[in-house]
Homo-oligomer: A and B are copies of this chain.
Amino acid sequence: MQLTSTRISEAAGEIGTVFKFFSSYRAGKKPEEVLADLTFGNPHEMPLKGLVAALGKSIQPKDANWFAYKTSEAEPREVIASALSRELRLTFAPEDIAMTQGAFGAIATAFAVLSNPGDECVLPMPGWFCYPTILRSLGVTPVKVLLDQKSYDLDIKAIEAALTPRTRIVVVNTPHNPTGVIYSRQRLRELAELLERKSAESNRRIFILSDEPYRRIRFDGVGFTSPAEVYPWTLIDYSYGKILLAPGLRLGYLALGSHMPAGEREELQGTIMVAQVARGWGFPDAPLQHAVADLEKLSIDIPRLQAKRNRMLSALSRWGYEMTKPAGTFYLWGRAPGGNSVSFAQRLAERNVFIMPGTLFERPGEFRISLTATDEMIDASLPGFEALAPALAG
């Protein structure tokens, strides 16, 4: 007899490659042997001092309710609505902001609120490897649509070809993991026009979920357009885990685009609250909610991250690697020498340098580097990349 949920089995099928990689990629290596772990977007240096100070303040109770049940609390909602309005040139009300356990919680909530089993959700490929897992657990079908394979820009024609009357959500991830691309306002307008037309044709609203956890991690002074600016039926998810480089603190939000008609926004506000309860009380811990005003002011050192990007990118390019220059995020995305990212990752691992093969993104010919490594790790990794350079492989 079948023991566990069919949907969770299907969800497991989507994340199996990631779990297997995670549990085995450093197998047999002692920590002191590892020269550079460039796999996951995890911290490799001590946390920000300002973060520790803000947490220290947040756990000092000022009243009896300090650690009481929290939902989406008034103060953090106000802080975020105000900051987000300035940042995106839109007008968010506090009620438009649902406090969530990271962007992950916001994404799971949005998927649960917007879709029914049998619906379809369009995902960018390559793209974050957890979307399909969440969708499968809800009985929603992930429809994986390739980005332009040269520029990694949104391919509007490919998205159009993937839309059906069952399409309920199109995920836009900008800045994009793993390529670092930030989509232009013009391209987002084209997407908005397409979705407006298709929603009208099928008499069923297609929503955009704009996954923006890297929104503030941008290089070279490049600007940012949220899909919420150009398409009213946009929900934005955000996480403080990236900008603080502290993903073990589950703090984020789901925001309703302020151009969304008021009636629909109100319906969504109520439904989001129910979905958060049904997910198992999906609200951030009390101390994090108390800390939002302080955390809003903090950031990792973006110029230093940009310098790491530059050093890595110029070294790899010099050695013949075909890399995408990221406009934002923690990541570098490129083509594996010889076209096989698994064997490339293995050969680097023999040199005690660890990268993420593109198989985790269903792109076996490509690979991802996380720039959250220290400067020392990046320096230490370079001889490995040089030794395996495409010039030598060819």
Contact = CB atoms under 8 A, between A and B. Distances in A.
Interface of A: 1, 3-9, 11-12, 15, 19, 40, 42-47, 51-52, 55-56, 59-61, 63-70, 100-102, 104-109, 112-117, 130, 133-134, 136-137, 139, 203-205, 244-250, 264, 267-268, 270-271, 273-275, 277-283, 285-289
A247 B69 contact: yes
B67 A47 contact: yes
Contacts of A279: 108, 137, 279-280, 282
Given A7-B112, A279-B282, 19 more contacts: A4-B114, A5-B113, A5-B116, A7-B117, A8-B271, A11-B275, A12-B270, A12-B271, A12-B274, A19-B274, A43-B65, A44-B64, A52-B61, A67-B245, A70-B248, A133-B274, A134-B278, A137-B278, A279-B279
A4 B267 contact: yes
Nearest to A203: B1
B130 A117 contact: no
Contacts of A55: 59, 287
B114 A271 contact: no
A78 to B, nearest CB: 19
A286 B249 contact: yes
Contacts of A281: 101-102, 104-105, 250
Nearest to A110: B280
A112 B137 contact: yes
Nearest to A140: B5
Nearest to A62: B46
A244 B67 CA distance: 10
B275 A5 contact: yes
B42 A278 contact: no
Contacts of A139: 117, 139
A36 to B, nearest CB: 14
Contacts of A5: 112-116, 271, 275
Contacts of A70: 248
Contact of A69 (B40, B101, B270, B285): B40
Nearest to A273: B19
B8 A274 contact: yes
A1 B205 contact: yes
Contacts of A101: 101, 250, 280-282
A241 to B, nearest CB: 8
A198 to B, nearest CB: 13
B64 A46 contact: yes
B249 A8 contact: no
Contact of A277 (B15, B264, B277): B15
A3 B205 contact: yes
A4 to B, nearest CB: 4
Contacts of A205: 1, 3
A268 B203 CA distance: 42
Contacts of A56: 56, 59
A130 B68 CA distance: 17
A81 B115 CA distance: 38
A260 to B, nearest CB: 10
Contacts of A19: 273-274
Residue in A52, A137, A270 with the greatest tally of chain B CB atoms within 10 Å: A137
